[in-house]
Amino acid sequence: GEDVEQSLFLSVREGDSSVINCTYTDSSSTYLYWYKQEPGAGLQLLTYIFSNMDMKQDQRLTVLLNKKDKHLSLRIADTQTGDSAIYFCADGGGSYIPTFGRGTSLIVHP
Amino acid sequence: EAEVAQSPRYKITEKSQAVAFWCDPISGHATLYWYRQILGQGPELLVQFQDESVVDDSQLPKDRFSAERLKGVDSTLKIQPAELGDSAMYLCASSPQDRGDGYTFGSGTRLTVV
């Protein structure tokens, strides 16, 4: 199957920006997603980007897409302790059904 | 805000017993999905329904897992018999037909097989 790779951990200080990176392999991807999962909870869709876009901004969140390199990133501005969670990159492939990476654990220090 | 409902929230069962999970998607969502998420990994798709029909169950271990969505609304995922390796979070998601932006997950059922 198609792969989605992301680093497993990221630690930042409160108030700093966080950048979570992801690479994917499916060149037919239409939707690319970022989900957030808090401990013991389901997945919350944070944002998504269409493959014909290279940037999307939504309040503190900025998604950058480099389709040529199949690289996706999520930037969280002014990171807060409440942002501590696991962040999943997901690739919609040729449809829209997400295939997930293993998730990046974001730890925000006061 | 509309939610995908799942029950039970937690389930502990003994090896070789049967276990079932229930999901009620967002009203009007034609497509329903069951995922399994093993600790430390991302969710993996087990089965996809379009209304009451199975669209994709290629990743469902059919010797012990079954899923149904009889009236095209709520759905049940069953495991019989449960094995230790089935311990995981089972997540249900639903979406409007052919749209990714409405893809919504429930809170999941945490299964522990002992």
Closest C-alpha to A96, from B30, B42, B100: B100
Q: Which of B40, B95, B107 is nearest residue A42 as measured by Cβ atoms?
A: B107
Q: Which helix (H) or strand (E) holds B95?
A: strand B88-95
pLDDT at site A97: 83
pLDDT tens, position by position, for chain B (114 residues)?
789 999 999 999 999 999 999 999 999 999 999 999 999 899 999 999 999 999 999 999 999 999 999 898 999 999 999 999 999 999 999 998 767 777 889 999 999 999
Closest C-alpha to B4, from B21, B20, B24: B24
CA distance A63 to A90: 13
Token duo for residue A14 = 């409160």
Numbered residues of chain A with Cβ closer than 8 Å to any chain B Cβ: 4, 30-31, 33, 35, 40-45, 48, 88, 90, 92, 95-103
Q: How far is A21 from chain B (nearest CA, A)?
A: 15
pLDDT tens, position by position, for chain A (110 residues)?
458 999 999 999 999 999 999 999 988 888 899 999 998 888 999 999 998 999 999 999 999 999 999 999 999 999 999 999 999 999 988 777 889 999 999 999 99
Closest C-alpha to A74, from A50, A97, A46, A98: A46
Instruction: Tell whether B94 lies on the interface with A, counting CB pairs under 8 A.
Output: no
Write the pLDDT tens digit of every residue in B65-92: 999 998 989 999 999 999 999 999 999 9
C-alpha angle with apex B107: B56 to B59, nearest 5 degrees?
Answer: 20
pLDDT at site B88: 97
Instruction: Tell whether B25 lies on the interface with A, counting CB pairs under 8 A.
Output: no
A45·B107 Cβ contact <8 A: no
CA distance B66 to B64: 7
pLDDT at site A1: 46
